[in-house]
């Protein structure tokens, strides 16, 4: 416990300029103010926060007045939930009135009621490790629900019964999985049992809120822990049914790789490769592509007479399934396009053989991957989970060769900006035509020639264009 106290003391000193000054302002006005939730939990774990959450006995309009003249900027987008936000130098500060909230069984949004006590406010929070507070400016720790002990034991429990907690806000079931993934904690058996029994309650939560929790979980340090919990409790069946569907029925006569376990391993191996990306990780697009890359397998599984199993075209089918699921979860079009492209292309490398691809085929690989080329490199490498070390080494060397060829061609030909020798205006000028479909067809023809032959001069492109026009 001494180490925890030391960690908290160090963090409180770091943020003293905020908590002491702000605490005095509220105390002088007759209100309580306490640092609460994640910043307190992470202070005990030795982690620093510049986003500080407070809870107070003051009502939102009183909080806003007390922040005026202290904060550099103030916003009130969360006023309906009792929250006033502000910025003070490098600190983002959110102050929320003591509250309780509950869900109508048919509603997607919580009913917010303000409370009168700190203990009551802490009691409505999701987990005991998030239900600790430090009163300021006095810096007294308030831990009515045993959060310090649970933090030491690395376990997630709810302050009250998990059934009441999840009934108030069913999204907390997703948060249990997310915090397991973020902190590497185990989840109390009673919490797991309640998640399993109440899994269908998640269906009243909006797709956007579910999506946001899923993104945080997947971008966490230990996503396997959270994803496994979602599958085991039945929550995944409601929010990401493609994942549990990967646990294909085992058949002793038709043995094949466990696609579910393979997928989780690919995800972890993809995470290990994130250092290849600008800025490193965590990178949601590459992680979600790893998670979804084989979702087409259940629908395309076929048993062959010799006892083998095939999954023909599962890449194309998987891309369609991925696009549909991401749309349902309200992801942006850019994210949907990026992940779906990676899923669709994840098998392309396996046609490379031992390096038989022509330069033309390599150019097409780069063109089809587009901006996702580096992520495709990562996914393809991560997709090798064989225990046969000789096979794994061979695949790695072969992909090394492909990347070296791409780098060499890129340097020689500027592959990143694959364009034919003439643009649309030049095509119209050479052919003596105006804008229309024929211009696009001519451009596509020149682009295909560029793929096959490599770079062409403007004169070569003009000659090829006239030859093409003469055949039409």
Residue 232 half-sphere exposure toward CB, CA atoms < 13 A: 14
For the stretch 219-273, pLDDT in tens is 999 999 999 999 999 999 999 999 999 986 554 444 456 899 999 999 999 999 9
pLDDT at 253: 44
> Nearest Cα to 226, choosing from 177, 284, 154?
177
pLDDT at 252: 45
pLDDT at 418: 65
Catalogue all structural domains in the chain, each as residue range(s) with its CATH number: 1-146 (3.30.460.10), 154-240 (1.10.110.30), 247-417 (1.10.3210), 424-470 (no CATH)
Q: Which helix (H) or strand (E) holds 87?
A: strand 83-88
**Residue 387 CB-density burial (10 A; 0-12 exposed, 13-18 middle, 19+ buried):** exposed
Q: Residue 75 has which token pair? A: 């916003």
Q: Compute the distance between CA of residue 93 and CA of residue 47 in angstroms, rounded to an integer.
A: 17
- Average pLDDT taken over every residue of the chain: 90
pLDDT < 70 positions in the chain: 1-2, 101-111, 248-257, 412-419
* Inter-residue contact 19 to 40 (CB < 8 Å): no
pLDDT at 251: 47
Length of the chain: 472
Instruction: At 356, give phi and psi (nearest 5°).
Output: -80, -10
pLDDT at 330: 97
245-to-108, 236, 259, 399 alpha-carbon distances in Å? 27, 10, 9, 30
* Inter-residue contact 362 to 405 (CB < 8 Å): yes
> Nearest Cα to 307, choosing from 255, 272, 348, 347?
255
Across-strand partners of 54?
35, 95
pLDDT at 353: 80
pLDDT at 355: 80
pTM of this structure: 0.83
């Amino acid at each position: 416990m001494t180490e925890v106290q030391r960690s908290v003391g160090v963090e409180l000193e770091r943020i003293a300029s905020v908590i002491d000054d702000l605490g005095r302002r509220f105390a002088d006005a007759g209100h309580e103010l306490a640092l609460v939730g994640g910043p307190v939990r992470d202070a005990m774990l030795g982690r620093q926060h510049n986003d500080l959450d407070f809870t107070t006995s003051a009502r939102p309009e009183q909080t806003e007045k007390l922040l005026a003249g202290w904060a550099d900027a103030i916003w009130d987008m969360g006023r309906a939930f009792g929250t006033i936000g502000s910025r003070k130098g490098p600190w983002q500060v959110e102050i929320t009135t003591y509250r309780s909230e509950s869900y109508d069984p048919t509603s997607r949004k919580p009913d917010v009621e303000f409370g009168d006590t700190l203990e009551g406010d802490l009691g409505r929070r999701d987990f005991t490790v998030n239900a600790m507070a430090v009163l300021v400016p006095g810096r007294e720790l308030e831990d009515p629900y045993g959060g310090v002990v649970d933090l030491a034991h690395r376990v997630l429990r709810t302050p009250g019964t998990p059934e009441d907690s999840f009934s108030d806000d069913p999204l907390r079931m997703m948060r249990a999985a997310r915090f397991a993934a973020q902190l590497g904690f185990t989840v109390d058996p009673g919490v797991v049992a309640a998640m399993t029994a109440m899994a269908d309650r998640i269906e009243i939560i909006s797709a956007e809120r579910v999506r946001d929790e899923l993104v945080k979980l997947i971008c966490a340090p230990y996503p396997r822990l959270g994803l496994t919990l979602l599958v085991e409790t039945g929550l995944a069946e409601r929010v990401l049914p493609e994942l549990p569907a990967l646990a294909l029925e085992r058949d002793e006569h038709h043995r094949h790789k466990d696609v579910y376990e393979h997928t989780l391993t690919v995800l972890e191996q993809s995470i290990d490769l994130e250092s290849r990306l600008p800025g490193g990780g965590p990178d949601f697009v590459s992680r979600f592509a790893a998670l979804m890359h084989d979702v087409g397998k259940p629908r395309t599984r076929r048993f062959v007479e010799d006892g083998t199993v095939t999954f023909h075209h599962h890449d194309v089918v998987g891309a369609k399934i991925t696009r549909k699921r991401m749309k349902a979860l309200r992801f942006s079009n850019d994210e949907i396009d990026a992940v779906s492209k990676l899923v669709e292309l994840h098998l392309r490398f396996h046609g490379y053989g031992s390096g038989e691809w022509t330069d033309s085929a390599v150019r097409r690989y780069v063109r089809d991957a587009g901006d996702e080329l580096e992520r495709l490199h990562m996914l393809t490498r991560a997709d090798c989970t064989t225990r046969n070390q000789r096979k794994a080494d061979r695949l790695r060397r072969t992909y090394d060769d492909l990347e070296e060829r791409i780098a060499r061609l890129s340097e020689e030909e500027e592959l990143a900006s694959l364009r034919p020798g003439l643009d649309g205006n030049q095509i119209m000028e050479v052919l003596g035509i105006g804008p229309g479909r024929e211009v696009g067809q001519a451009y596509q023809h020149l682009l295909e020639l560029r793929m096959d032959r490599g770079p062409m001069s403007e004169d070569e492109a003009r000659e090829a264009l006239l030859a093409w026009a003469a055949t039409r």
